[in-house]
Amino acid sequence: MSAYDDPDGMLSGDSMEVNEEEEEEEEGGGPARSALEESIKRKGMNSYYYAHGRKNNAPAWDGQATPRLMSSVAMAPDPQDHPEPIRTYAWSDGEKHVKVYVTVDAVENLREDAVSLEWDAMSLVLTVKAPENKAQVFLIQRLYDEIDNASFRIKREKVILTLTKKEGKVFTWFDLKKEF
């Protein structure tokens, strides 16, 4: 007879002796085990219940349902974390260029390196970092049409953006932003 004919090993004499010993342990006053512990003892890591046999070493629950503050650290908010949006601007459409006039606070003392312009073919971001004020951002996520270039100049009380329309696309922009 092969092991395939007797998968549980119940027909061989060795396994019968083990089963008899286990029964004697239970009857002999030894600690009674749960089915989970028995399965893990017999089958080890191959037991269906192996993952459930681990003991939890987490702190005991105190029975209170309300959350408790473990610690707190006072932090001053960084003004650069949340820049202020710029909402005051005007624009004009030309044959090859679109000009955007952005009103910025404290622009008189503004240096060239305090202004940055990032752009791609369909969007732009103008960031102004004035020394005394919070950072300001002018963002257009989707321009009316594609552009080839973008530049800026600092003038009195405003920053002027010059957007160069894509070459070969000469038509009137009816709006600065394109609706999604």
State whether 43 and 97 are in the same domain.
no
At 151-169, the pLDDT tens digits run: 999 887 789 999 999 888 7
Give residue-wise pLDDT tens across range 60-110. Answer: 777 777 777 777 777 666 655 678 898 999 999 998 999 999 988 766 777
Instruction: Provide φ and ψ at 128, rounded to 5°.
Output: -120, 125
Tell me which of 3 and 157 has the higher pLDDT: 157
In the predicted model, is pLDDT for residue 118 greater than 90? yes
Pair 50, 40: CB distance under 8 Å:
yes
97 and 161 within one domain: yes
* Lookup: tokens for 44: 């080890």
Q: Is residue 97 included in any domain, yes or no?
A: yes
Domain span including residue 161: 84-165
Could you report how far apart the first and last alpha carbons of the chain are, in Å?
76
Q: How many domains does the chain have?
A: 2
Give buried/exposed letters for 94-113 (b at 16+ CB in 10 A, else e). Answer: eeeebebebebeebeebeee
Q: Does the residue 4 lie in any domain?
A: no
Residue 93 lies in a domain: yes
Examine residue 19 and state whether it is found in any structural domain, yes or no: yes
Q: What is the CATH number of the domain that holds 144?
A: 2.60.40.790
- The gap from C-alpha 167 to its chain's centroid, in whole angstroms, comes to 39
> Is the same domain home to 99 and 26?
no
Q: Is residue 77 part of a domain?
A: no
Q: Calculate mean pLDDT across residues 109-123.
A: 87
pLDDT above 70: percentage of residues in the chain? 72
User: Can you tell me the distance from the alpha carbon of 136 to that of 158, in angstroms, rounded to the nearest whole number?
Assistant: 13
**What pLDDT is attached to residue 19?**
46
Instruction: Indicate yes or no: pTM above 0.95.
Output: no
Considering the domain architecture, whether residues 40 and 98 belong to the same structural domain is answered as no
Rounded CA-CA distance 144/146 in Å is 7
